């Protein structure tokens, strides 16, 4: 089989070699391993599921021989952006008897106790409550909901160039809001405006109302938790003559020149980062699997890649037959996991009871997203003194 691949390289070039390599690997798979993928494939939160990253990593693993010769098969379960539907999706995923689960839903909290009770190794993002103090649940960002890093406050000072903050959000991110408020004084921040009554997906008039409120407050920067798209808010501020006010969002919507100055702080390296090996591999895989056009819009996809990479590392360490207890044990001993530079170092069991304190920062410049921190591990990290 090695000769076949070598000949393909010589006569067919890189593309042909890749195809031959995949054929060689598929012909010798020992079996399949099911991975459950729970995400908000429909509903308001669909825009943030970005499971392309996880699927791209799974395909990448399969193209290089799978895990110990076993092919990974992803089975998708739709949480529908609804807590009630998320519980049903969890039950359906459990019934599929997967070797592990990737939890990419933002409303999965009600289903986490059920998942934890099964002992199925489950890797998540940690953005919502319920991921901590459960030995079989592994959030790549740690306990983000109750130990959010407050690095946004450092971003406000260093890149927003202001200590006067307007803090906006909706009820969905109440735990993160509480933590940031508690750390404001120690970070040297003055909250000149606090409004957590905004909708997850505002209308145009609601964005304009927020912009007018922010301008009147005298804030130099806006920190957001719980609003999907900050491009309209930055656009309205710019049009109101408040272009010196930088909005810090938590996603990367399609940029426009009208929204120049918008910042985003994310606890993973975005697809705009240069010089990071993990991002380079992620972009190559996304393009190879037909997701190239979505690299600039699927903000959460690199983090989904990291989630899949963490689960696969646990499967590889446990080995066949990939029993739940063995995979959980393997994951619980992982230290300084970065997915080759896509996330700041994550260690377990530490991250099952604490959160990360690092973000990658991007800005819309001349109508395009640009990472302002590049290279390996491209993160700004808050002082450890901010930790709860």
Whether 88 and 63 map to the same domain: the answer is yes
Token digits for 93? 């995923």
On whether residue 342 sits in a domain, the answer given is: yes
Domains: count for the chain:
2
On whether residue 312 sits in a domain, the answer given is: yes
Within 136-222, where are the H helices?
151-158, 174-183, 204-217
Whether 342 and 364 map to the same domain: the answer is no
Range of the domain at 164: 151-266+359-386
On whether residue 271 sits in a domain, the answer given is: no
Whether 118 and 22 map to the same domain: the answer is yes
Angle at 51 between CA 359 and CA 138, to 5 degrees: 60
Whether 142 and 155 map to the same domain: the answer is no
Whether 251 and 318 map to the same domain: the answer is no
Whether 182 and 91 map to the same domain: the answer is no
Whether 336 and 375 map to the same domain: the answer is no
Within the chain, where are the H helices?
2-26, 52-63, 83-95, 112-118, 151-158, 174-183, 204-217, 231-239, 277-288, 301-318, 324-331
Whether 351 and 258 map to the same domain: the answer is no
Integer Cα distance of 202 and 205 in angstroms = 8
CB contact at 8 A, 369 and 170: no
Whether 49 and 188 map to the same domain: the answer is no
At 11, is the pLDDT very low, low, confident or very high (cuts 50, 70, 90)? very low
Note the pLDDT of residue 332. Answer: 97
Q: Which stretch of 5-9, 80-84, 151-155, 227-231 has the lowest confidence by average pLDDT?
A: 5-9
Whether 233 and 371 map to the same domain: the answer is yes
Which contiguous run of DSSP H or E holds residue 70? strand 70-78
pLDDT in tens, 130-157: 898 899 999 999 987 666 667 888 899 9
Note the pLDDT of residue 306. Answer: 97
pLDDT in tens, 265-302: 889 999 999 999 999 999 999 999 888 888 888 889 99
100, β-bridge pairs? 35
Q: What is the CATH number of the domain that holds 47?
A: 3.40.50.2300
Whether 256 and 367 map to the same domain: the answer is yes
Whether 85 and 19 map to the same domain: the answer is yes
């Amino acid at each position: 089989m090695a000769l076949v691949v070598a000949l393909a390289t010589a006569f067919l070039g890189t593309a042909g070699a890749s195809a031959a390599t995949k054929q060689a690997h598929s012909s010798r798979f020992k079996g399949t391993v099911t991975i459950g993928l729970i995400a908000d494939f429909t509903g308001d939160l669909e825009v943030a599921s970005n499971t392309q990253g996880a699927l791209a990593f799974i395909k990448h693993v399969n193209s290089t021989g799978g895990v110990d010769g076993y092919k990974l098969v992803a089975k998708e379960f739709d949480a529908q952006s609804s807590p009630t539907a998320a519980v049903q999706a969890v039950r359906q995923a459990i019934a599929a008897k997967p070797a592990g689960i990737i939890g990419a839903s933002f409303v999965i909290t009600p289903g986490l106790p059920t998942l934890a009770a099964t002992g199925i190794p489950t890797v998540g993002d940690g953005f919502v409550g319920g991921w901590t103090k459960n030995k079989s649940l592994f959030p790549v960002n740690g306990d983000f909901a109750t130990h959010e890093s407050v690095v946004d406050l450092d971003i406000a000072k260093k890149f927003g160039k202001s200590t006067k903050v307007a803090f906006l959000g909706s009820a969905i991110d109440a735990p993160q809001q509480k933590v940031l408020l508690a750390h404001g004084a120690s970070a040297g921040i003055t909250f000149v405006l606090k409004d957590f009554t905004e909708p997850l997906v505002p209308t145009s008039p609601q964005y304009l109302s927020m912009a007018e409120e922010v301008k009147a407050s005298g804030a130099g920067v806006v920190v957001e938790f719980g609003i999907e798209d900050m491009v309209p808010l930055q656009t309205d501020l710019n049009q109101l003559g408040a272009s010196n006010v930088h909005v810090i969002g938590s996603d990367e919507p399609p940029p426009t020149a009208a929204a120049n100055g918008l910042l985003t702080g994310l606890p993973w390296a975005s697809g705009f980062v240069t010089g990071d090996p993990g991002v380079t591999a992620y972009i190559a895989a996304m393009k190879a699997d037909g997701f190239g056009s979505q690299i600039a819009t699927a903000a959460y996809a690199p983090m989904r890649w990291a989630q899949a990479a963490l689960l696969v590392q646990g499967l590889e360490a446990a080995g066949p037959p990939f029993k739940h207890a063995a995979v959980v044990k393997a994951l619980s001993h992982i230290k300084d996991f970065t997915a080759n530079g896509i996330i700041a170092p994550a260690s377990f069991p530490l991250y099952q009871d604490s959160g990360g304190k690092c973000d990658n920062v991007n800005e819309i410049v001349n109508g395009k997203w640009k990472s302002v921190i590049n290279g390996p591990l491209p993160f700004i990290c808050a002082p450890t003194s901010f930790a709860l």
